[in-house]
Amino acid sequence: MQNHSKEKSKVYIRRISDWSSAEAVSEALASVWLKMDGNSLVKKDDFLGIKLTFGEEGASGYIKSGWLKGLTALLREKTENLFTIETNTLYREKRSNAVGHLQVAYAHGYGISQSGMPVIIADGLHGRNSQNIAIRAEHFENVKIAKAVCETDFLLCLSHATGHCQTGLAAALKNLGMGCAARAGKLAQHSKTLPEITVAKCIGCGECMKICPANAIGIKKKKAILVKERCIGCGECTVICRSGAIEIKYDENAIKLQEKMVEYALGVKEALGSRLACLNLLYGVTKNCDCMSKGEEPIVPDIGILGSLDPVAIDKATLDLLGENTLKGIYPEIDLEAQIRHAEKIKLGLSDYELIEL
Ligand code: SF4
Ligand code: SF4
């Protein structure tokens, strides 16, 4: 007899409300990995990269290196070739090149003497080291993934789940899709999401001009003006503007950004031959991601740690746990499920999941 029951991916959860003890968080993270039987996926002496974000200078929401102690102790049973791995940012802050990026990583506790792991900036000094990976999806035939990500044997995608001004949710799919792309790949994903300036609200402070990585903003007669041909759609100006004078138009282009992002995540999976696992940390969930959020208040109480081999299922579970209206209330124009739908369509994973409590 045919089995018509819908296939589901497993998502494990360990709930934690108190994140003040590094030992407790470390133990919880390790317990999720054990429950997933994560070490059975790691081969002896694998070059294993832990993909995370070190946070921007002045930010505090990034994943603390002390939390990784229990997890890395388990991983070392299989391999000593552990490292943290990240790519350069598109926007013009310290982490847009490997030198500044390493300085921020060390300042945030990710020096080898602190975390016990070297930091690899996967797309090189200026973000140009990439490898073309064929995916033949809707928006891209090929994607440009950071070279060292492609050379990694096993990738552990460790994501701090937050909101995001362009994609709604920033979690595993964003960490893989945007976070593992080389600079050219990040540009390719952003290329159609342009902001609009409301002149009446602009006070001519010039902050947007200073932060724009593409020199796409000028100030004329004390008002900001956008040079559309130069804009790469990174959205930085919309976050820095305190007057609310720059906004991204959340039309179908915002959906396309999410679709392109998950096609890049598919490229990562292809490059790694599916040797990938995800851990999402649902604590200090802010409106903006760790690149942009500086001192923001959390939008929901802390929830816990999720683990899965399926990046789609873990992000769908993350959205569900955050509550239907949390991010929807903050970003009403963004279709939050667009990234999940497209990721499932291109067979990156399943949106149906079984939530297993530890
Ligand atoms: S940051 Fe905002 S207010 Fe300041 S110049 Fe730019 S658009 Fe105008
Ligand atoms: S104008 Fe805004 S969205 Fe466009 S590149 Fe500059 S900072 Fe990014």
Give the start-to-end residue ranges of the domains of the chain.
Answer: 9-189+251-357, 195-248
pLDDT of amino acid 350: 97
Residues 6+ apart with CB under 8 A from 209: 217, 218, 219, 224
Entry pTM: 0.85
The reply to whether 9-189+251-357 and 195-248 are identical in fold is no
Query: CA-based Rg of the chain, rounded to a whole angstrom?
Result: 20
Q: What integer pLDDT is reported at residue 67 of this predicted model?
A: 97
Q: How far apart are CA 116 and CA 25, in angstroms?
A: 18
- Ligand 1 surroundings by CB, under 6 angstroms: 197, 202-208, 224, 240-241, 243, 245-246
Q: What is the pLDDT of residue 91?
A: 67
Pair of tokens at residue 219: 């100030």
What crossing angle do the helices spanning 252-272 and 338-345 adopt, rounded to 10°? 40
User: Cα–Cα distance between 330 and 234 in angstroms, integer?
Assistant: 19
From the list 227, 228, 135, 151, the residue with the least C-alpha distance to 185 is 135
| Residue to substitute in 228, 237, 240 for testing ligand 2 pocket (most ligand atoms within 8 angstroms of CB) | 237
Spatial separation of the C-alpha atoms in residues 174 and 170, rounded to whole Å: 5
**Ligand in nearest proximity to the CA of 208:** 1
3-state SS assignment for residue 306 = strand
Find tokens 């994607």 and name the residue: 143
E strands, 99-216, in order: 119-121, 130-134, 142-146, 154-160, 162-164, 168-170, 195-197
Indicate the CATH number of 195-248 among 3.90.25.10, 3.40.50.280, 3.30.70.20, 3.60.110.10.
3.30.70.20
CA-wise closest residue to 156 among 138, 140, 179, 133: 179
Q: What is the pLDDT of residue 106?
A: 95
Please state which CATH class domain 9-189+251-357 belongs to.
alpha beta
Segments of the chain scoring below 70 in pLDDT: 1-5, 91-92, 191-192, 249-252, 291-294
* Whole-number pLDDT of residue 44: 98
Q: What is the pLDDT of residue 250?
A: 59
Q: Which of 280, 285, 322, 290 is nearest to 29 (CA)?
A: 280
Which residue type does 16 have? I
